[in-house]
Amino acid sequence: MKTVYTTLTILIVFFIGAIYFLQYVEYSCNEILTHIERLDECILNEDWDKTHSNIEALKKEWRQKKRVWEILLEHYDIDTIDVAISKIEKFADINNKDLALGELVKLKFYIKHIEDKEAFSIANLL
């Protein structure tokens, strides 16, 4: 009987941790997507000064989230996001609207992909 209680306790702790993690990932993705939307607007308007300040804000937010995500998520996804942010920064440095917007779309896709991949769904459980 003691084994049953121990097993149930471990399962409950596991599921509570998983739910907390999923909520954290969803919240983090939404925060990063908010920064991306602001950056998208600045690039579309070709306001390069605001673009650079928004890139710095995005990088700061990403550094904070990245510390936790490195523990919990696949490193390939994290590296892909790092590369996309670096490319956006370089394209903004040379005031290349088209390339910056293209890379921004990729970054948005990567963030949404992580959120979808980590969500509870039948497809993810099977």
What is the pTM for the complete model shown?
Answer: 0.85
Q: Name the pLDDT band for 72 (thresholds 50, 70, 90).
A: confident
In a domain, 55, yes or no: yes
pLDDT band at 48 (very low <50, low <70, confident <90, very high): very high
In a domain, 118, yes or no: yes
Residue with tokens 């084994």: 3
Tens-place pLDDT, residues 1-31? 788 899 999 999 998 988 898 899 999 999 9
What's the pLDDT band for 119 if we cut at 50, 70, 90?
confident
Lowest mean pLDDT among 54-58, 68-72, 91-95: 68-72
Structural domain boundaries enclosing 50? 23-125
The pLDDT of residue 123 is above 70: no
What band does 32 get if pLDDT is binned at 50, 70 and 90? very high
Give the pLDDT mean for 100-108: 96
**Structural domain includes residue 107:** yes
Which residue in 37, 40, 31, 50 sits closest to 100, CA to CA?
Answer: 40
Domain count, the chain: 1
124 has pLDDT over 60? no
Decide: residue 25, CB within 10 A, 0-12 exposed, 13-18 middle, 19+ buried. Answer: buried
Question: How many other CB atoms are found less than 10 A from the CB of residue 39?
Answer: 26
CATH of the domain at 59: 1.20.120.290
d(CA 8, CA 12): 6
Mean pLDDT for the chain overall: 91
